[in-house]
């Protein structure tokens, strides 16, 4: 695929989303950087430098898409916005928390796809890139809501890939491992899981924290991940799933 037209990136206020928005702009796309709080766009513009001329910040809350209209020249959709809440055992996870996570990590992703597909189909080309998680390949305790939602997203992404291939639309999933983001800084790599509040799960939570700290040593910068994601988007053909750091690549290949 040649860089042309517009790329929409959700969750672009920080972390992987911001880095991907900047990288796609540097490679030649006009980018809509979607974020719930557009005031954070100033930080993005500062980091983007000259590429900021190709980036337009837009308010985009993926759980409230009534006002979203896909650009006529849309060529790339990156569903990056995601949510992770408390690290709790399934036994102690309220149903409301499951619903909140799935609303953002699953339902919003495919509602946005649904709104963008007609534009891409009319153009006869496009790429939908859904940001998943390698945690679904390496089950961990207390990741029930997050891994469950990402597993659902992953499976529907595979279905969507088959459905849209005849229209010239590639659908891919990128599964990051440990990336240096705010999310990693507040994860079980930095603190003991909330599950430690429940005595039967306390030893497991402590062991998980110790192992996660070792994994954090292998984390890579967001710019590294963004470069790999942009490569995957621009590649012709290629697999359904990509890693964007050594650990996620190893998990997918194994």
- Going along the chain from its start, the domains and CATH numbers come out as 6-253 (3.40.50.720)
Q: Tens place of pLDDT for every residue, the chain, 254 residues?
A: 999 999 999 999 999 999 999 999 999 999 999 999 999 999 999 999 999 999 999 999 999 999 999 999 999 999 999 998 788 999 999 999 999 999 999 999 999 999 999 999 999 999 999 999 988 998 889 999 999 999 999 999 999 999 999 999 999 999 988 888 765 555 555 567 788 899 999 999 998 888 877 777 778 899 999 999 999 999 999 999 999 888 889 889 98
- pTM higher than the cut 0.85: yes
Q: Where are the beta strands (DSSP E) in 66-135?
A: 74-79, 126-131
Q: How far apart are CA 42 and CA 7, in angstroms?
A: 19
Q: So which residues are the catalytic ones?
A: 146
Residues 26 and 23: their CA atoms lie apart, in Å, by 5
């Amino acid at each position: 695929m040649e860089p042309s037209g517009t790329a929409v990136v959700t969750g672009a206020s920080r972390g992987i989303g911001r880095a991907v928005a900047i990288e796609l702009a540097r490679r030649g796309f006009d980018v809509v950087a979607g974020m719930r709080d557009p005031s954070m766009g100033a930080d993005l513009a500062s980091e983007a430098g000259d590429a900021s001329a190709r980036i337009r910040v837009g308010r985009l809350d993926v759980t409230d898409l009534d006002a979203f209209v896909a650009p006529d020249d849309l060529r790339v959709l990156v569903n990056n916005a995601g949510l992770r809440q408390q690290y709790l055992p399934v036994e102690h996870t309220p149903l409301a928390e499951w619903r909140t996570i799935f609303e953002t990590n699953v339902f919003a992703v495919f509602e946005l796809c649904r709104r963008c597909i007609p534009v891409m189909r009319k153009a006869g080309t496009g790429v939908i890139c859904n940001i998943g998680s390698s945690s679904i390949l390496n089950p961990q305790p207390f990741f029930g809501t997050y891994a469950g939602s990402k597993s659902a997203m992953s499976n529907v992404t595979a279905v969507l890939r088959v459905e849209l291939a005849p229209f010239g639309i590639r659908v891919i999933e990128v599964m990051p491992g440990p990336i240096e983001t705010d999310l990693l800084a507040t994860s079980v790599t930095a603190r003991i899981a909330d599950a430690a509040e429940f005595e039967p799960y306390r030893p497991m939570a402590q062991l998980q924290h110790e192992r996660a700290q070792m994994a954090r040593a292998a984390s890579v910068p967001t710019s590294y991940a963004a470069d790999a994601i942009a490569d995957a988007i621009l590649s012709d053909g290629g697999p359904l799933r990509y890693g964007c750091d050594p650990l996620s690549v190893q998990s997918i290949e194994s």
